[in-house]
Amino acid sequence: QLTDLEIAFLAGGNPIPDPDAAFTLLSGQRAAWNFDGDFTGSALQFLGQPVNGASLSDDAKAGTGSAVFNQSQGQYVDVTSPVLNDGALAYTSSGWFKVTGGTGRRFLWETADSNWAISTEITPAGNLKAFIRQSDSSSHSIDTLIQPPLDEWHHVAVTFDGVRSTFAVYYDGELVNQPIDVPLVAGLGTAPTTGFHIGSFRGGSDRFFQGHIDEVGIWDRVLRQFEIGFLAQGNSVPTPDSDPIQQPPTIAIDSISVSNGTIRIQWTGGNPPYQILFKASLSSPWQALGDPTSESFFETPLTGDSGFFLISNP
């Protein structure tokens, strides 16, 4: 619950500050690999299996280790569980990579075994490129035309929102303004998958990466730009085990809009159910608006000239 001082700060016209990404990045997290000493994922089903001698290195962008791959030996990491639900309507994939050479198509990661719901590669021309395949088997891609220099760490994040029909690539925390080659099909989620490969494409039989990969994460939501920026600054992907306090993710307001006399508030983070509270002035007591809800938005008619809303976990 906000204090009166915090409410007064917001009422003074100050913008809502970004929450702590170290906590919000736990919300919607499906899987993560830090490669700090082993190939363990953020959950038991996401244990990575090194193939053909894929190994670990202390040359890391964050933490103490990274995965290192030799293209000529066909090395990659195999994860046998799907990292997304079939038909997922949103996701973000993120990670650090360092290209040290290689030729042809070199995949950072791709879902297995027959669909590229999540896919990021270095093309034969050396460009960073991302793909998605939707549930109607349509395929879409963004060629960033960026050629990451050899022997340098760089960060990439790819976001997909099937409801809003958006697909985007961030390079070192900045949005890449490149068009999608084919328009996305509105309202369609991702094609079905059975696993995930790091350092190779879906088949795991070719298109091997040459270099280092670190701090790979998958979320079933679109990360906000401050969260992508947090990762691109070199911070490790937080996982539940890395949070000693075990705090629930912070509730963060995404948008507030007013239309036709109705206010709509949308948020992410926290753990449902949520309780919406209201008070008409700083000195008024908080009052619950309706019963707790599992939705991450709330709409209500505007009934006065001013007021304060609070989203909390009951």
Q: What percent of the chain has pLDDT over 70?
A: 93
At 12 the pLDDT is: 75
pLDDT in tens, 81-108: 999 999 999 999 999 999 999 999 999 9
The 3-class secondary structure across the chain, one letter per residue, is: CCCHHHHHHHHCCCCCCCCCHHHHCCCCEEEEECCCCCCCCCCHHHCCEEECCCEEECCCCCCCCEEEECHHHCCEEEECCCCCCCCCCEEEEEEEEEECCCCCCEEEEEEECCCCCCEEEECCCCCEEEEEEECCCCEEEEECCCCCCCCCEEEEEEEEECCCCEEEEEECCEEECCCCCCCCCCCCCECCCCEEEECCCCCCCCCCCCEEEEEEEEECCCCCHHHHHHHHCCCCCCCHHHCCCCCCCCCEEEEEEEECCEEEEEEECCCCCEEEEEECCCCCCCEECCCCECCCEEEEECCCCCCEEEEECC
Q: Could you tell me whether strands 55-57 and 66-69 are parallel, antiparallel, or unpaired per DSSP bridges?
A: antiparallel
Higher pLDDT, 209 or 3: 209
**pLDDT at residue 146 tops 60:** yes
Q: How far is CA 196 from the centre of its chain?
A: 16
Banded model confidence at residue 289, pLDDT cuts 50, 70, 90: confident
Model confidence pLDDT, tens digit, residues 10-36: 777 777 767 788 889 999 999 999 999
Distance CA 83, CA 32 (A): 9
pLDDT top residue among 198 and 248: 198
At 260-281, the pLDDT tens digits run: 888 888 888 777 888 888 887 7
Tally the C-alpha atoms within 13 A of residue 151's C-alpha that lie toward its C-beta. 0
Q: Report d(CA 113, CA 261) in Å as an integer.
A: 49
Q: How far apart are alpha carbons 4 and 7 in whole angstroms? A: 5
CA distance 33 to 36: 8
pTM: 0.75
The C-alpha angle with vertex 224 and arms to 270 and 7, in degrees rounded to 5, equals 55
Q: What is the pLDDT of residue 257?
A: 85
- pLDDT tens, residue by residue, 224-252: 999 999 999 999 999 876 544 444 556 87
CA dihedral defined by 258, 259, 260, 265, rounded to 10 degrees? -50
Looking at residue 133, its pLDDT comes to: 97
